[in-house]
A = this chain, B = another copy of it.
Amino acid sequence: MRPNPPEQLPQHRYPVDPWRLVEIEYDNDDLGLTETLFATGNGYIGMRANPEEGREAHSHGTFLNGFHESWHIQHAEEAFGFARTGQTIVNVPDAKLIKLYVDDEPLLLATDDLDDYSRTLDFRTGVLTRDLIWRTPAGKRVKVTSTRMVSFTHRHLAMLTFEVTMLDSPAPVVISSQLLNRQDGEDEYHVRSAALGQGRDPRRSRVFDHRVLQPMIQRHDRHNGEVVLGYRCANSRMTLACGYRHLINTGCEHKVDTQIGDDLAKTVFTVRAEVNTPIRLVKLVTYHSSTGVPAEELGDRCSRTLQRVVEEGADTLVDGQQAWLDEFWESSDVELRGDPPAQQALRWNLYQLAQATARTHEQGVAAKGVTGAGYEGHYFWDTETYIVPFLSYTNPDAARKLLRFRWRMLPVARQRAVDLNQRGALYPWRTINGEEASAYYAAGTAQYHINAAIMFALKRYLDASGDIYFLADEGVEMLAETARLWEDLGFYANNGEMTFRIYGVTGPDEYTTVVNDNMYTNVMARFNLRYAARSIELLKEWDRPAYDRLCRRLELDESEIKGWNTAAEAMYIPYDERLGIHPQDENFLDREPWDFDGTPPDKYPLLLNFHPLVIYRHQVLKQADVVLAMFLASELFTLEQKRRNFDYYDPITTGDSSLSACVQAVVAAQIGYESLALDYFREALFADLADIHANTTDGVHIASAGGAWGALVFGFAGMIDNGLALRFTPSLPKGWDGFEFRITRHGSRMSVDVDRKGCVVSVLSGPPVPLVDGEHQVHVDEGTSYRIAAIRLPPSEPDVGAGGTSTAT
């Protein structure tokens, strides 16, 4: 269905700015949205953008990537092999709270008289700043400036500043800086919607009915004012410690008092404030969490983290933040000429990618990054399909860590395969700790395609980095176990010819489930089987002892590897001769068409308005997985096939999934549907900023952010990387003057500048970069550029298995 995205944000509230998101009006009605849009994080710590006053909120959220409570999944009706252990990210104690009282009157944004207000998230400094002038009930004007930054360089650290200046009159000022455990992660919204008896949106997070965080330590160092609280999760036994220290700087007379309890520590600054004499407070905050270390020890780590920052000086934190972001933009920026609102939105999306991935270390990237508890803080295939490609070309080390995270998950994935009666390894559809946490197998465990998505991400990373050591050490093991699963899951059927079929699986489009021969799954499984066989054969040539060790460890032999190739060769790919399209699954084209005309807008997303049985039996898509296959395995399809497939599926795709728009954009761009591609790109770009899916309250759609980058690079610039060389088939959307992006490939940092005539590839540093330009292969040396002309090729023939040849017209 044709998207209808905004062209810009409402200017009266969010003026255009290329490097910042700025809010110049406070609005109490969409707090959930702005808490997400202005959230700060570093991939480990995430803080929703709640005002320091800690009152009005959609949800007061602070999250630590991977820090979760577990719970027994109570299935309404049990069956063998259903996921047993639920996992939910925990809302940890809130250190954002800094409450201000002037003349004993509290500052309260919702009702107070504000002479001035602005909030700015600066993508270059990495600091969220709020400036306001408060006219108190007594009529005194108070300037309040606060900043918040979660450090990109120090994983465990955040810094808040709070500066108060009396502009007209002196007054007694009290600043109460807190660390508050809002027990059990329950927040107002959940309580409210439960009270109203509303049905729960399954995409939202769980409400616990027990005390999750059990108090373990409460420390207060009277010498330096340091406070540390420690907890243990009741079920998961994960531990947490968090703490703060303050630095106060003012010419005003003041005293300090600290109180500490199980669930609240507060340090209260009582100040005799003079006119035009700033009271400046710095609050250093730290969080440490663990699956095994006692809270006591984490408490010690908190003290050391805080002590180190105090010794180094808070300014070094600010400088480090800036330096980190300089490097980030140097390697990841996309400059978009001729469309300032899109430029701003794009940088916001890229900044979200930084906030979601900078310091994940060896955790995954949750569907909402660290900005909310949506989808329980779980990791899905989104990471591999939508985020790892971006990281592979901008921050390969981060991509590598995400893949290592999956490698460390192998033992649990092997056990899950056993549970499902299969050999090899089956990655969990959604998880934090590696165990399957999907309580609805039809749109969960049945999505076996996650195995291939992870292997596809591995290939993206290896093609971009050339890191064959990772392939040899971790990659081949994952490849072997995933290939094993596919070979065991499918079966040979003889319908005239012998074909390899995969039955009873769900593709990325969750609006049909448990189908036979899902085309996307079969294409990706074939890739997985072939890539595993080829990589292990490569290992055999390259490092025979390593190959022998692998075979012994996995009880692998050549005949099994041969079997993978045999299955891949025989893989059945549904194709309908009559329509000239690829059916989404074996039965897809036989289904009844959906009555789009009879479906009013308020019935979307369908999943919240129709029983699954109703959705599943119709031709209607949440996201078009044939189109996704055409993106990820572009070389398998002729231009004509791509167009016919796209023409068939696009009108019946609701885009109810936020993973949809960016993929439609890539393929629309590749097949020359320029204006549609641009609309889809904007839909991905503004997914959160314009709250297109009406649930940005629950956190950013981080995959959509990755996908928006992908739409530019793989869609409009038409970049294809087969591991040996790069190819571009650029096509600049109407209305833009051009765009330039930075990537790093095999150690070479490059810029690619797309304009009306084609693109210019410049190698900024590193070894020469191999390019394919039409029939020619060229190498672009450091410090030089190469221009590729925009070309229009006739439709090409299918070229299965070889390098890509498809182009945009």
A761 to B612, CA, bound (A): 52
Among the 9-residue stretches A27-35, A163-171, A585-593, the one with 4 or more Cβ atoms under 8 Å from chain B is A585-593
Residues of chain A from 197 to 227 with CB closer than 8 A to chain B in the complex: 199-202
Residues of chain A from 443 to 465 with CB closer than 8 A to chain B in the complex: 444-446
- Give the shortest distance, in Å, between A651 (CB) and chain B (any CB): 19
Q: Which residue of B lies closest to A440 (CB)?
A: B77
Q: Is the CB of B419 within 8 A of A611?
A: yes
Chain B residues within an 8 Å CB radius of A575 = none
Q: Is the CB of A78 within 8 A of B202?
A: yes
When A75-B76, A420-B613, A421-B610 are in contact, do A503 and B591 touch as well, CB less than 8 Å? yes
When A74-B76, A440-B77 are in contact, do A493 and B611 touch as well, CB less than 8 Å? no
Instruction: Indicate if A516 sits at the interface (CB-CB under 8 A).
Output: yes
| Size of interface on A: residues with Cβ below 8 Å to B | 51
A590 to B444, CA, bound (A): 24
**Which of B445, B592, B617 touches A613 (beta carbons < 8 Å)?**
B445
- Give the shortest distance, in Å, between A88 (CB) and chain B (any CB): 12
When A504-B617, A514-B613, A590-B516 are in contact, do A442 and B442 touch as well, CB less than 8 Å? yes
Instruction: Indicate if A469 sits at the interface (CB-CB under 8 A).
Output: no
Q: Is the CB of B516 within 8 A of A611?
A: no
When A514-B613, A516-B587 are in contact, do A200 and B76 touch as well, CB less than 8 Å? no
A493 to B609, CA, bound (A): 26
Residues of chain A from 72 to 103 with CB closer than 8 A to chain B in the complex: 73-83, 86
A613 to B503, CA, bound (A): 9
Q: Which residue of B lies closest to A200 (CB)?
A: B78
A493 to B613, CA, bound (A): 19
Q: Is the CB of B516 within 8 A of A439?
A: no
When A586-B587, A617-B503, A617-B504 are in contact, do A86 and B76 touch as well, CB less than 8 Å? yes
Q: Which residue of B lies closest to A420 (CB)?
A: B611
Q: Is the CB of B516 within 8 A of A514?
A: no
**Which of B77, B504, B590 touches A501 (beta carbons < 8 Å)?**
B590
How many identical subunits does the complex contain? 2
Q: Is the CB of B587 within 8 A of A587?
A: yes
- Give the shortest distance, in Å, between A747 (CB) and chain B (any CB): 44
Q: Is the CB of A446 within 8 A of B613?
A: yes
Instruction: Indicate if A616 sits at the interface (CB-CB under 8 A).
Output: yes
When A420-B614, A504-B617, A613-B441 are in contact, do A202 and B514 touch as well, CB less than 8 Å? no
Q: Is the CB of B76 within 8 A of A611?
A: no
Q: Is the CB of B587 within 8 A of A76?
A: no
When A80-B611, A200-B78, A617-B504 are in contact, do A590 and B439 touch as well, CB less than 8 Å? no
Q: Is the CB of B77 within 8 A of A439?
A: yes
Instruction: Indicate if A607 sits at the interface (CB-CB under 8 A).
Output: yes
Chain B residues within an 8 Å CB radius of A607 = 79-80
Instruction: Indicate if A178 sits at the interface (CB-CB under 8 A).
Output: no
Instruction: Indicate if A608 sits at the interface (CB-CB under 8 A).
Output: yes
Instruction: Indicate if A491 sits at the interface (CB-CB under 8 A).
Output: yes
A612 to B83, CA, bound (A): 12
Instruction: Indicate if A363 sits at the interface (CB-CB under 8 A).
Output: no
Q: Is the CB of B77 within 8 A of A438?
A: yes
Chain B residues within an 8 Å CB radius of A587 = 516, 586-587
- Give the shortest distance, in Å, between A378 (CB) and chain B (any CB): 12
Q: Is the CB of B79 within 8 A of A76?
A: no
Q: Is the CB of A613 within 8 A of B501?
A: no
Chain B residues within an 8 Å CB radius of A493 = 590, 592
Chain B residues within an 8 Å CB radius of A504 = 613, 616-617
When A420-B611, A493-B590 are in contact, do A199 and B441 touch as well, CB less than 8 Å? no
- Give the shortest distance, in Å, between A692 (CB) and chain B (any CB): 21
A495 to B75, CA, bound (A): 41
Q: Which residue of B lies closest to A586 (CB)?
A: B587
A139 to B613, CA, bound (A): 68
Query: Can you show 30 pairs from A to B with CB atoms below 8 A apart?
Result: A74-B76, A75-B76, A75-B439, A76-B439, A76-B440, A77-B202, A77-B440, A78-B199, A78-B200, A79-B611, A80-B199, A80-B608, A80-B609, A80-B611, A81-B610, A81-B611, A82-B611, A420-B613, A421-B610, A421-B611, A445-B611, A446-B613, A495-B590, A501-B590, A504-B616, A504-B617, A513-B514, A514-B514, A516-B617, A586-B587
Beyond A76-B439, A504-B617, 8 additional contacts (C-beta under 8 Å) are A77-B440, A80-B609, A81-B614, A503-B590, A504-B613, A513-B514, A514-B613, A516-B587
Closest 7 CB pairs of A and B: A81-B611, A76-B439, A504-B617, A77-B440, A491-B592, A503-B617, A77-B439
